[in-house]
A and B are shown apart, each in its own frame.
Chain A
Amino acid sequence: MSSPKPNRRRRLLQVRTPVSPMQALISSIGIWVVFFGGWIFATSMGWVNPILVPSPAQVFRSIYLLFANDGFASDVLISVGRVLFAFALACLVAVPTGVAMGAFPAIDAVLAPFVSAWRYLPAPSFIPILLMWFGTGEEPKIALLFLGVIFFLITLIADHTKEVRKELIETAMTLGAGRSITVFQVMLPAVLPNILVAMRQMLAVVWTYLVIAEIVASTTGIGAMMMRARRFLHTDQIMGGIIVIGALGLIFDRLFAVLHRRLFPYLQDSR
């Protein structure tokens, strides 16, 4: 060997050394095998109270039964509808507001102190007053989901817009662009990929508030089903609900990833 450094044996933990695709696959499947294996093992050995911790098989069976017999699909649709409606509403407000704050310091100077103060108020603390204002219909739920993400979304989008490089803006201006062309044809397209990333992060948060909203005051939706199941000690259904929410979250996350790749093909080759 000509190399002065001895070629060390590869160790399992190497700083910043990428793993092979095979190792990645085995690792990612392995962790779930261990998780479900442990769960199955614990329940089949009778180590845990079956009423409190049902077996995986029972949980998946109850998911099937929920969909087949109990009309769970409509609960799921209602929940998804609430999430998407509230999130769309939040985006509709946050994208123009955030971009305007990022583009115009004069707007930022007014809104930033306001928006950042609201971020520190936990949205669930508004539940009592939302219930008093809106009753128990859809409105307080949508309002909670909206309040839960809007201020974070605005701040993220404003920060990303502020990060659009000065040279890009100045190039546009020296090409003859006025304010609206600079904002709509340079800053907005430049920040759009990051806006989508911010949306993806915040959609996960909407799901969190959905469960809170449906547990506190709702007769419909996934969270309400879980609260009903609690009354009858149906832990299998509760866990089924958790798994369904997790799966939905994952599906939406993947959809965002696909959308990102579709909308911004030029980002694929840059790295």
Chain B
Amino acid sequence: MATPLMQIDRVSKRFELSGGRTLTAVSDVSFSVEKGSICALLGPSGSGKSTILRMIAGLETLSSGAIRLKGQDIDGPGQDRGMVFQAYTSFDWLSVRKNVEFGMRINGLSARERRERAEHFIDLVGLSNFIDTYPSRLSGGMRQRVAIARTLANAPEVLLMDEPFGALDAETRWQMQELMIEVAGASGTTMVIVTHDIEEAIFLADKIEFLSSHPGRLREEITPDFKPAERIRNKEQLLELGGFAETERKIMRLMREEGRH
């Protein structure tokens, strides 16, 4: 097997708190992410999911261990690791088109290339009719689409998402999940998604890293291999698959055990 695109190698993170105390948020976590795959980080609140994602993004330093992308140690944030946050991050002073072009502009792509790529990705997330609109006019789900298109258009090696649909209503959320399957298929982008939502993790991920809390450790790696090799696009289809209920039950049990500590 070829070496994975990204390796998280025995990573720990300690935060210095006031009064000289330290808090171990992530302890000795290792996993790898294959090129083109979707990996979900799942676990109870405080299990260090966001911290791991932020370390991958380069927004947080490591206390020990290493994160390697294509064999290179990561060093600070960079365009090869795009991030989508739960909070809205649209640049309100720019139109949807200019938002999506932002990364490409600062990275020196030509105007023509920018326009073509922006239009392609805005179309992919279904916002062609809003291309010259200001984000403040859009709904929450549409703004997250802008953020996703903006990150993808910048051609990152990995797309990192921290509970990107957490603030959306249930219907918009599964529409966005189906959109992510479509986007992953169309762009081949590798993704790491942090979520609380068990169904979301099973639907999207090729591999689920389940973390336990206090300190955040890797508890179990779950491969939902009941899913067919070709990703399913409808959430109903997922629910109909034999094996879904069993996987969900297994994760729920893990969650419940975590809750007892």
Chain A 80-94, CB-CB to B under 8 Å as 1, else 0, gives 000000000000000
Q: Cβ of B79 and Cβ of A175 under 8 Å apart?
A: yes
Known: A167-B87, A266-B134. A176 touches B92 (CB 8 A): no
Interface residues on B, range: 20 to 34
Residues of the A chain whose Cβ atoms lie less than 8 Å from the Cβ of B135 = 266
Which residues of B are found within 8 Å of A173, using beta-carbon distances?
A: 58-59, 77
User: Are A181 and B106 in contact, with the CB atoms below 8 A?
Assistant: yes
CB distance from B149 to the nearest CB of A (A): 12
A173 to B154, CA, bound (A): 12
Min CB distance B203 to A, Å, is: 25
State the CA gap A192–B151 with chains docked (Å): 25
Hey, what's the 0/1 contact readout for B152-183 against A, CB within 8 Å counting as 1?
00100000100000000000000000000000
User: Nearest A residue to B160 by beta-carbon distance?
Assistant: A174
- The verdict on B22 contacting chain A, using a C-beta distance below 8 Å, is no
A242 at the interface (CB under 8 A from B): no
Stretch from A4-12, A24-32, A144-152, A183-191 that touches the partner: A183-191
* Contact between chains at A176 and B85 (CB < 8 Å): no
Smallest distance from the beta carbon of A249 to chain B beta carbons, Å? Answer: 29
Residue in A168, A177, A181, A266 whose beta carbon sits within 8 Å of that of B89 in the complex: A168
Are A270 and B83 within 8 A (Cβ)? no
Q: Which residue of B lies closest to A264 (CB)?
A: B93
Bound-complex Cα distance A176 to B154 (A):
9
Question: Bound complex: CA of A216 vs CA of B83, how far in Å?
Answer: 59
Minimal beta-carbon separation of B60 from chain A (angstroms):
10
**Contacts A269-B136, A269-B137; is A176 near B91 (CB within 8 Å)?**
no
Chain B residue nearest to A189 in the complex (CB): B93
In the complex, B78 has a CB within 8 A of chain A: yes
Bound CA–CA A190/B87 (angstroms): 16
**A171 lies within 8 A of B136 (CB):** no
Contacts of B137 in A (CB 8 A): 269-270
Give chain B nearest CB distance to A76 CB in angstroms: 36
Which applies to chain A's interface (DSSP): helix, strand, loop or mixed?
A: helix
Considering only residues 250-270 of chain A, those with a C-beta below 8 Å from chain B are 264-267, 269-270
B59 near A174: Cβ-Cβ < 8 Å: yes
Contact (Cβ within 8 A) B82 A175? yes
A267 to B92, CA, bound (A): 8
Q: How many residues does chain A have at the interface if contact means C-beta atoms less than 8 Å apart? A: 23
Q: Which residues of chain A are within 8 angstroms of B79 by Cβ–Cβ distance?
A: 174-176
Mark out the residues of chain A between 215 and 271 whose CB falls within 8 Å of any chain B CB in the assembled complex.
264-267, 269-270
| Beta-carbon contact of A267 and B106 below 8 Å | no
Asked whether, in the complex, the Cβ of A167 is within 8 Å of the Cβ of B93, the reply is no
Contact with B along A143-181 (1 / 0, CB 8 A): 000000000000000000000010110111111110001
How long is the Cα–Cα vector from A175 to B135 in the complex, in angstroms?
18
Chain B contacts of A170 at CB under 8 A? 57, 59, 77, 83, 85
Q: Is the CB of A171 within 8 A of B107?
A: no
Give the chain B neighbours of A167 by CB distance below 8 A. Answer: 85, 87-89
List, in ascending order, chain A residues with CB within 8 A of B145's CB: none
Residue of B136, B137, B150, B151 contacting most chain A CB atoms (<10 Å): B136
- A165: chain B residues at CB < 8 Å are 87, 89
Q: Does B103 contact A (CB under 8 A)?
A: yes
Tell me if B91 and A175 are in contact (CB < 8 A).
Answer: no
CA distance A176 to B92 in the complex (A): 19
CA distance A266 to B132 in the complex (A): 12
Q: Decide yes or no: A174 and B91 within 8 Å by CB, A181-B106, A269-B134 being known contacts.
A: no
Smallest CB-CB separation from A185: which chain B residue?
B106
**Residue pair A174, B83 in contact (C-beta under 8 Å):** yes
Minimal beta-carbon separation of A150 from chain B (angstroms)? 27
Interface status of B81 (Cβ within 8 A of chain A):
yes
Interface contact A175-B136, CB-CB below 8 Å: no
Cα separation A190 to B89 with both chains bound (whole Å): 11
A19 to B89, CA, bound (A): 35
Contact B92 A270 (CB under 8 A): yes
Instruction: Decide: B91 and A168 in contact? CB cutoff 8 A.
Output: yes
Alpha-carbon distance A192/B154, docked complex (angstroms): 26
- A residues 110-138 touching B (CB-CB < 8 Å): none
Q: Are the CB atoms of B92 and A175 closer together than 8 Å?
A: no
Instruction: Report the separation of the CA atoms of residues A265 and B137 in the bound assembly, to the nearest whole angstrom.
Output: 11
Q: 10 A–B contact pairs at CB < 8 A?
A: A167-B88, A168-B89, A170-B57, A171-B147, A174-B59, A174-B81, A175-B103, A181-B106, A267-B92, A269-B136
Given contacts A172-B102, A269-B134, list 5 more A-B pairs with CB under 8 A: A170-B85, A174-B82, A189-B91, A189-B93, A266-B135
Question: Which residues from chain B sit less than 8 Å from chain A, CB to CB?
Answer: 57-59, 77-79, 81-83, 85, 87-89, 91-93, 102-103, 106-107, 134-137, 147, 150-151, 154, 160
The 9 closest A-B CB pairs, nearest first, are: A176-B79, A175-B103, A270-B136, A266-B134, A173-B77, A174-B83, A171-B89, A167-B85, A189-B93
